Structure 1
Amino acid sequence: MGFGNPVRSDDGIGCYVIQELKKSLGNSNAITILDMGTSAFEVLYQLKGHNRILIVDAVVNTGEPSGTLYKVPAKEVMRTPVEDPMVFLHSLKWDQALSYAKRILADEYPEDIQVYLIAIDNTRLEVELSDKVKEAGDKVVQLMLDELTASNEV
């Protein structure tokens, strides 16, 4: 799953990674490749039936240089669900949506969810990625392909 806004420069890195994976893998029956764009709550419906999920997204305000790559278990970045019946679901981010999904899916929630985060600082209204962020995205693509190959998923 790749997240981001492709018209907000480096924020579109998750979408870029998904496009590159699709080019490399084509139509694979073994894995599902999803460009989630800025959708978040839809995550819940895409998790069911999968054993392992790989997520890629941009992260701002890390204090690290643009293009810095992080890989963390999803449980490290999930936010607690809001217990407000009026919570506006369209304003959720994927990290909070995962918490809702875990609660709703219970035993059907995938155990292995890993998140690749790429530090960014450019979210201007433009469609080009900066060189450093694009390089980090290409590295994520290769890491994912290596991981999928090592686990015999492709």
Structure 2
Amino acid sequence: MQTSTALKTAILGFGNPVRSDDAIGVYVANELQTHLQHRDDVMVFDMGTSAFEILFKLKGHQRLIIVDGVINSGEADGTLFCLPASEINAQIQEDPLVFLHGMKWDQALSYAKKLMGDEFSKTEILVYLVAISEIKINIELSDVVKAAGDKLIETILNDL
């Protein structure tokens, strides 16, 4: 079902699925997967627990959409942010410290840049962050963060 004008897109949802609102990226990824399962121009990845090996699958994508929670943003829970390219580029590190089960979006981009080589500089990158404060062990999202995730799902689907 890929059209000639569609960018091959990878959507990466970050977060810990047992840390309440920290799971927002995983929630968005899982919901998008159900909506996009018949699209061959979009791949959706749950970066919650198997992040590092997924980075090798990013080659060939012209657009990356990243969703994660951000704690201590100074904004109310559920506030949505879309980072400008300058902020995204500022987060890319030469050799970030990473733990295999605790990768965040900026670390993933740093490694994606290394793995994708020259292709990375031609890749459109969108980073969506959702303000969160609740990260205690709990498998449920708070209502306000879930509502923000649902709004973000709609935004991404409309963008695609």
Q: Percent identity?
A: 51
Quickly say closer, same or farther: Cα 1:88–1:127, change in 2 above 3 A: closer
Mapped partners of 1:82, 1:30: distance in 2: 30
Alignment partner of 2:130: what SS?
A: strand
Structure 1 residue aligned with 2:44: 33
Quickly say closer, same or farther: Cα 1:41–1:26, change in 2 above 3 A: closer
1:129 pairs with 2:117: no
Mapped partners of 1:108, 1:8: distance in 2: 34
- Opposite residue 95 of structure 1, the aligned amino acid is D
Where does the alignment leave 5 or more consecutive residues of structure 2 unmatched? Answer: 1-11
Structure 1 residue aligned with 2:132: 120
**Runs of 4+ residues over 6 Å off in structure 1:** none
Quickly say closer, same or farther: Cα 1:127–1:88, change in 2 above 3 A: closer
Where does the alignment leave 5 or more consecutive residues of structure 1 unmatched? Answer: 149-154
Mapped partners of 2:40, 2:53: distance in 1: 21
1:82 pairs with 2:117: no
Q: 1:53 aligns with which of 64, 68, 79?
A: 64
Structure 2 residue aligned with 1:68: 79
Contact 2:18 2:139 in 1 (8 A): yes
Q: CA RMSD in A?
A: 2.1
Q: 2:26 aligns with which of 12, 15, 39?
A: 15
Deviation sequence 1:79-134 (CA, Å, 0-9, x none): 42238xxx555354331231232134221215201011000000010011001100
Shifted more, 115-124 versus 16-25: the winner is 16-25
TM-score when scaled to structure 2? 0.80
Alignment partner of 1:42: what SS?
A: helix
- Opposite residue 139 of structure 2, the aligned amino acid is V
Deviation sequence 1:2-58 (CA, Å, 0-9, x none): 011111000000111112112222332121111111444335313211000111010
TM-score when scaled to structure 1? 0.83
Contact 1:43 1:97 in 2 (8 A): no
Structure 2 residue aligned with 1:24: 35
Quickly say closer, same or farther: Cα 1:16–1:31, change in 2 above 3 A: same
Mapped partners of 2:125, 2:78: distance in 1: 22
